[in-house]
Structure 1
Amino acid sequence: MRLKSEIWVKAYLRRCAANGAGGVVARHGDDDAGAIFIKVVRADQMAAVFSPAPAGLDDADYERRWVSRFDAGFVSDSEAEALLKREASFDEDVWIVEIEEREGRNFLGDELME
């Protein structure tokens, strides 16, 4: 069984804070099952966006797994914001979590699919 979105977001923000990164909920989605998008902003204002992995990949149906939304990894902040704005226009239940981390670490560990 998958954790509720709200609980996962709170735990993720704590993980980031414990590693010295600041994070905020930029958009609060559905507490139970809202899709979560993570934006990581480096010191040079370049950003990466991670979204839920498609269902059916490995154990993504049961565990949260993430994929990078940009092949280049980091793009301009405005490009990342445009993507997130489009996603929010499609799904009113979406969460957007923004992390400021000098080096661009995402703290997703094994949850990130390559």
Structure 2
Amino acid sequence: MVMGLTTGLWVSAQVRLCDRAFIPAAVVRRGDPDAGTVLLKINRFEHGVTVYTQASMMDDGPAWSRGTGPEPVTEAVADAYIARQVQYDPDVWVLEIEDRKGVYKIDGKIV
């Protein structure tokens, strides 16, 4: 995550930021509190769901890739993707954000 922050602290901060912006957010799966990978499930309801996964950047800044592809998918497709990732990496965190209006801004670049 951001240099100097554990994954657990970063996730907690994101939940708090969402709470302050009246955006429902929930940690649906806790992973390794120090260094677990994070999946962000952004549910835009009628606009679809996108799951973002952490990506590595050369400059060590936070970056995300669209794990479910370039276009939003159904919630069932997103949940299946998350289930596959959890099987691959049991230390993964899953943060679900219900952002009907598209207000939430991801911390970092989307690659």
TM over 0.5: yes
Distance 2:31 2:10 in 1: 12
Distance 1:9 1:38 in 2: 10
TM-score normalised per structure 2: 0.86
Out of 47, 68, 71, the residue aligned to residue 70 of structure 1 is 68
Alignment match, 1:43: 45
Instruction: Give the 5 Å matches for 1:1-114.
Output: 1-44=3-46, 46-53=48-55, 55=56, 57-60=57-60, 63-109=61-107, 111-114=108-111
- Counting matched residue pairs gives 109
Q: Which runs of 5+ in 2 are unaligned?
A: none
Q: Report runs of 4+ in structure 1 exceeding 4 Å deviation.
A: none
Q: Which runs of 5+ in 1 are unaligned?
A: none
Task: State the one-letter code of the partner of 1:112.
Answer: K
Say if 1:45 and 1:28 are closer, same or farther in 2 by CA, change over 3 A: farther
Q: Aligned Cα RMSD in Å? A: 1.7
Deviation at 1:46, TM superposition (A): 1.8
Contact 1:45 1:77 in 2 (8 A): no
Deviation at 1:59, TM superposition (A): 2.2
TM-score normalised per structure 1: 0.84
Say if 1:105 and 1:70 are closer, same or farther in 2 by CA, change over 3 A: farther
